[in-house]
Structures are given as structure tokens and as C-alpha cells.
Structure 1
Amino acid sequence: MPADAGVAVEPVVDEPAAVADLGSERALLVADVHAGIEVGLRYERGVELDSRADDRRERLCELVAETDADRLVVLGDLAHRIAAPEGDEREELESLIRAITDRVPLTLVEGNHDAGVSETFAGRIDVIGPGGGLLGDALGGKGDDADGTRRGGVGVLHGHTWPDPALLDADVICMGHEHPQVRLEDAVGGSRVERAWLRGEIDPAAFVEDSTNADTTSRSADPPELVVFPAFNERSGGTWVNVDGQSFLAPFLPNALPAGDAYLLDGTRLGSFRGV
């Protein structure tokens, strides 16, 4: 997947993760870890699966080391339970957060599954609220314009709520929540589902809830790119973006992404996600 011209957000080949150069820091970004998902599936659907908690924790730590990251940023849904974490899920989170923060700082962008996580682990993780924010503001991204307005950098949000309009000041915006997937068919009628990236220019007017009260016109000629991350957790399902009748989860999608490409984890470009 090509990098944005202003800010480098480079996917890690064959992984649902990307690296962002923030100037003063190199950040590893992932979305939708859903720690404790096996516990949730047991109670929600009666499905019994062996826990992959150790695999998730070890792979995240390996990715931090392999990418030489200075920070891990989780784009929402670090946890699976939509409540304060407890029991086995809390134990998984405790172990995961300890393993990561022993190495690098951890920033969580609050997702709809993260209720109580920031409070439970206060002082051990940095938190960005559900509306999102600019990583450059907190982590040393780009400087100010001549008029003092902050411009550029990497914007982050989960995607379950309408975003903070200030994200339109970013060069590139990274989000989770959607868990994009594509269903691919072969010549003999077989099919498979694979996790995918989505990337394209944002329509600023469709990205914010009330565009009449937000400065979207100044970005209309040079809008930021939107990168929709695949879910880190392969058991969390997702939106089949190339199947008719599939509804997007984010309130601003697909309208805020009028044209965008889909990519597989290995970097294969599939073309327009609307026509895969």
C-alpha cells in the first residue's frame, strides 16, 4: 500500500498493523485486539474456543520489536467485553498491558468495547477519547502553520462515533471498528474471506456530523487520507465490503470514503473496494 506523501503510515507486510513516523516517535498501530474474545463468545453465543491470549500478547510484543517502535497505539477495542473488564478478560488485559508497557508506552483510542478499560488501567496507559485526536499534538508530530493553526500529522479514532472535526487537520487518519474483509471467489466457485485494508481520500463534509458548523471547505481541495485498519483479532468477524447488502458500522462510512482501494494483508491491491 502506498504511503501518504506528507506522513508515512506504512503497513507491516502480512500483518494487520502499520507503522507511523511521528517525527519524534515511531508508532506501531493496530486496531481491534478484542482481548478476551473467547470469554465473550462463550457467554454471548455458547461457542467454546481455546484461548489465543498468549498468541495475541506475544505477537504484539514481537511486532513492537520487529518494527523498532517507540509506542504502541491501539485504535480502539483493546478489550472485547462491553463493560468494565473482569475475570479471564481482565487477566488477559493485565498480562498484555504489562508486557507492552514493560517495553514501550501504550496509547488506547477508546472504542465501543473499552468501557472501564481506561479507568481500570489508569496510570498505565495513555488514553485518547472516542472522538479521536491528532497523535502529533501529544507525541511530537508536525508544527504549526504561520497563523498558529496545527496542521499535519496522524489523526486517530476508533470509528463508532462521529469524529472530532479537528481530525481534518491531519494528513492521514487511521481508524478501526469496521473490521473490513473481502470475499474472494475462484474460477470453480469456491470462496474465501480475508481481512483487508481500505484507503482513500476523505469527503470532509461527510466525515463530520454537522458540516455546517465545521470548517470542511478549507480541506476540500486537499483532504486527508483515511486508512481503515483490518482487525488484529482474526476471530472478531467484520464487514464484507464487497458484498451487496453489507452495512458499514461507522456512522460516516461509506459516504466519507467516496473512492478508495482495498488491499490484502500481503499488500496485494484489489482496486476500488466498491468493485472488488
Structure 2
Amino acid sequence: MAGGADRDPPSDRRSSPLVEPVPDAPAAVADLGGETGLLIADYHAGIEAGLRYERGVELDSAGDERRERVLDLLARTGADRLVVLGDLSHRVGGAGDAEREELAALLSAVGVPVTLAPGNHDTGIAESFGDRIETTPPGGARLGDVGVLHGHTWPSPEVLGAMVVCMGHEHVAVRLEDDVGGARAEKAWLRGPLSRAAFDGSVDLASADVEWRDPELIVFPAFNDRSGGTWVNVEGKGFLAPFLPDALSDGEAYLLDGTRLGSYRRI
């Protein structure tokens, strides 16, 4: 493992009382102001059909397993709402039969309201499932003091007025090496203060009459295990969001088990 990593007590890892990662899972519990939300990102329903079409890769569907993981997390956390930070579906340009079937089964099973901050893969989701999913504008929305968005577009002023901003899109992963040269990729969280300067000229907070409250940014790992990732500590592997890395100059990386790796720029 990278040098300098440690495992903090849970109380020390919690830099914000509003959003807390679920141990050993790519999911978090959030106080949404009157509701408890289970937040996940990049579900990519029907990815196996997409991989077959896009790359000729044949894989059995893991849709049932993905759905059961969500149901287990909802039961474990007692969440009142499921919030997906974009890319609920996989097929860019509209969900196909595999995506629609998997999403229909998921939405029938969850038993709580679902909010989607739509991502670049979610074309047509609102039209297909609008009676079962509450969809935010492309720039996201604020739920209580938590801002949610996918991250492929600039956030709305409303999102930047939150205390904590949560996003997906990056499929965050880190490359870890051992003492004998072996390497592996691990899913990771990024957390740190959001830089206001990164949005100057692109998001007009003043005209929207939004107060800047020095929010924390949390970049989620992908929920889907087959969707790849952005290796944030490998040179040449750039971010996808238009405001990163400028908006997260002092962020730290954490593994799913809570291990703190330190600054993501120096892992």
C-alpha cells in the first residue's frame, strides 16, 4: 500500500456531519433536511449490454446483484430516499431493453422515493421513468444543506450554496503499489474544501443571490464494479468534470474501508 496510509477512528474521518460514507461500500448516508438519504453514484444499469455492443465483451448481467446491494444498503441505513448522483443507466443516447428492464426491477423493489441528478448517460430516463423518479436539473439541486449533481456539467448556483456538495462522474480509483512492485487499483473517495475561484466566470453566484458557505466537496466512487475508473494518482489520467482538479486543490483520498491515503496529489 502507498506509504503514509493510516486508518482513522470513525469520528476523526467524519469531516462533515451531513454526509457519512457507509463502511466498506461505495455509498453514503446524508442528512437531507427532514429525510435521510442513501447516496450512490454511477449505477450504470445494463452495462453488460453496453459492453457487448461497444467492445464485444460478453458478460452475464449482474443486475440482480446490483439491485440486492442497493436493497441491503437501504435496509442497513434505514434511509428514507435513494439519491443517485448520475449515470443510473449506462447507454448514452437512451436506455435500451436491458437498461429498462434492470431499472424497472430496481424501482419496483426499492420502496422509497428516488431522486436522480442526471448524468451524461441518462438520456431518456426522465421520459421513461418520470412517474417513478424525481429528476433534478442538469446542474443538480440542493436537498437540505447537501448539494447533489453528477459532475459532467458546471453545478448550479443553488448547489454551490450548500454546505456539502456530492458528485459522481469520476469513478474515483487509486493505483496502489507494494514494496515489491506489485500494483492494484482500489475504489476511493475524494473529500476536501471546494475552491470558489474555480467557478469564477462560469457560475454566477451573485446574480443568483447565493451565499458561499465554504462547502466541502465529496467525489463518490462508482457503485458499478464494471464501469472502470479515473486513477487520480496516475500521471496523465485527467479528471472528467470541467471544474476539477481546480475546485479540489487540497482534497484527500480514502479507501472504502476508511483508510486515509492523504492528499490525492501525493499518493
Asked if these proteins are the same fold (TM beyond 0.5), I'd say: yes
Aligned 8 A contact 1:162 1:208 in 2: no
1:200 correspondence with 2:192: yes
1:231 correspondence with 2:222: yes
C-alpha displacement at 1:209, in angstroms? 5.1
Give the match for residue 60 of structure 1.
70
After superposition, the C-alpha distances for 1:138-175 in whole angstroms (9 at most, x for unaligned) are: xxxxxxxxxxxxxxx00000000111122221100000
Q: 3-state SS of the aligned residue for 1:94?
A: helix
Report the CA distance shift for 1:135/1:56 in structure 2 as closer, same or farther (over 3 A).
Answer: same
Give the match for residue 129 of structure 1.
137
Query: Distance between the aligned counterparts of 1:84 and 1:122, measured in 2?
Result: 14
Give the match for residue 147 of structure 1.
none
Query: Distance between the aligned counterparts of 1:209 and 1:186, measured in 2?
Result: 43
Give the match for residue 99 of structure 1.
109
Give the match for residue 142 of structure 1.
none
Would you say how many aligned residue pairs link Structure 1 and Structure 2?
Answer: 254
Superposed CA RMSD in Å reads 1.6
| Residues 63-212 of structure 1 aligned to structure 2 (within 5 Å) | 63-100=73-110, 103-136=111-144, 153-207=145-199, 210=202
Q: 3-state SS of the aligned residue for 2:138?
A: coil
Greater RCO, CA 8 A, separation 6+: 2
Give the match for residue 35 of structure 2.
25
After superposition, the C-alpha distances for 1:85-119 in whole angstroms (9 at most, x for unaligned) are: 1212211111111111xx11111111000000011
Aligned 8 A contact 1:165 1:208 in 2: no
Letter in 2 for 1:255: D
Aligned 8 A contact 2:82 2:114 in 1: yes
TM-score normalised by structure 1 residue count: 0.88
Aligned 8 A contact 2:191 2:251 in 1: yes
TM-score normalised by structure 2 residue count: 0.91
Query: Distance between the aligned counterparts of 2:93 and 2:109, measured in 1?
Result: 23
Query: Distance between the aligned counterparts of 1:50 and 1:31, measured in 2?
Result: 22
Give the match for residue 256 of structure 2.
265
Letter in 2 for 1:106: V
Give the match for residue 141 of structure 1.
none
Give the match for residue 46 of structure 1.
56
Query: Identity rate of aligned residues, in percent?
Result: 63
Query: Distance between the aligned counterparts of 1:217 and 1:94, measured in 2?
Result: 37
Aligned 8 A contact 2:194 2:214 in 1: yes
After superposition, the C-alpha distances for 1:55-108 in whole angstroms (9 at most, x for unaligned) are: 0001101110110000000000000001221212211111111111xx111111
Report the CA distance shift for 1:111/1:209 in structure 2 as closer, same or farther (over 3 A).
Answer: farther
Show structure 1 runs of 4+ deviating over 2 A.
1-5, 207-211, 213-219
After superposition, the C-alpha distances for 1:7-38 in whole angstroms (9 at most, x for unaligned) are: 42000000000000123111000000000000
Letter in 2 for 1:96: L
Give the match for residue 231 of structure 2.
240
Aligned 8 A contact 2:198 2:247 in 1: yes
Which segments of 5 or more consecutive residues in structure 1 lack a partner in the other structure?
137-152
Moved more, 80-89 or 38-47: 80-89
Give the match for residue 150 of structure 1.
none
